[in-house]
Amino acid sequence: EKVVAELSDYLQRNLAAMVWLTRIKDGDDYTAKHSINSAILAMGLAHALEWPQEQVGMVGLAALLHDVGNVAVERSILEKPAPLNEAEFEQVQNHPHVGYALLNEEPGVPEAVAKVALNHHERLDGSGYPQGLEGEGIDPISRLVAIVDVYDALTSDRPYRPARSHHDALGSLWRGRGQLFDPEMLETFVDFMGWVVPGTLVRLSDGALAIVEEVNIGRSASPIVRRLVSGALGYEAGRRLDLAEQGDVPGDQRVRIAEVLPDGAHGIKVKSLLVAALSDEDHE
């Protein structure tokens, strides 16, 4: 509620942003909804990162206008239910350049906001577009908006695919942690949004399978897990591991969640394993 009130206040004080939001909505309803969702999520993440209030407002405007270049993309392409051909994909990939140019022509839009329109598809490993920027070469606000942009896109219905669950979307983002997305920002986003609930099947960074047994409040990316051990009759519950409490183990060697797996993966019946593990504890 606080973030929405802040966003409303920033918009009232920034006529250029309001005008551009109207133009975005006229071009494509999905882009307008996606822009508003991204702005709210981006400001929430900026708050969670404890960024200064002035920067939080800049983040909101940047996220709101990051896809403004879509006004130049044919609506039939944005709404196409089938894969794009090469020419159509090139037009979509050009929207960052278009957005940057449009916002640079607007005297009321800060350069930092225009830069996000250009850079929100850049990735840490240089695999993004349009310039193939890497690491620190991507400005912090663009790195932040990249995360919420992908999250909202994945959790929204599109003509070519149904919306993915919150759980699946965060799992997809997590797989790009440190390679595609800023690791600190992504960890904060996961904590901010909430991720691995008890009963979630995961693969750990050391290759082991585990079940999330308990969430550490405020550190949802580092829950208490129950390792799984492969036996003659399938997987059995092994020892507990608190991912948030790993003693003197160096940071780069600490066990983390590497992948969130779908229910039933590897034929594992999560509920029965958890019940058995908790029952064993009761009898100890």
Cα(230)–Cα(253) distance, rounded to whole angstroms?
24
What is the chain's mean pLDDT, rounded?
A: 87
**pLDDT above 80 (res 224):** yes
For residue 221, which amino acid is it?
A
Cα(84)–Cα(32) distance, rounded to whole angstroms?
21
174: nearest Cα among 150, 198, 158, 207: 150
For residue 1, which amino acid is it?
E
Return the higher-pLDDT residue of 27 and 187: 187
By the 8 A CB rule, do 265 and 201 touch? Answer: yes
Q: How confident is the model at residue 11 (pLDDT cuts 50, 70, 90)?
A: confident
pLDDT at res. 8: 75
What distances in angstroms separate CA 30 from CA 34, 41, 165, 207, 255, one per listed residue?
A: 6, 16, 18, 39, 39
Q: How confident is the model at residue 221 (pLDDT cuts 50, 70, 90)?
A: confident
Strands (E), 101-144: none
pLDDT at res. 278: 64
217 Cβ partners below 8 Å, 6+ apart? none
Return the higher-pLDDT residue of 154 and 196: 154
**pLDDT above 60 (res 282):** no
pLDDT at res. 251: 77
Q: What is the pLDDT of residues 33-87, one digit of tens each?
A: 899 999 989 999 999 899 998 899 899 999 999 999 998 888 888 888 888 999 9
The contacts found for 103-109 with CB under 8 angstroms, 24 or more apart, are 103/20, 103/65, 103/68, 106/16, 106/20, 107/16, 108/14, 108/15, 108/16, 108/17, 109/16, 109/17, 109/20, 109/61, 109/65
pLDDT at res. 265: 83
Q: What is the pLDDT of residues 168-216, one digit of tens each?
A: 888 899 999 999 999 999 999 988 887 777 788 899 999 999 998 888 8
pLDDT at res. 277: 67
Dmax (CA) for the chain in angstroms is 71
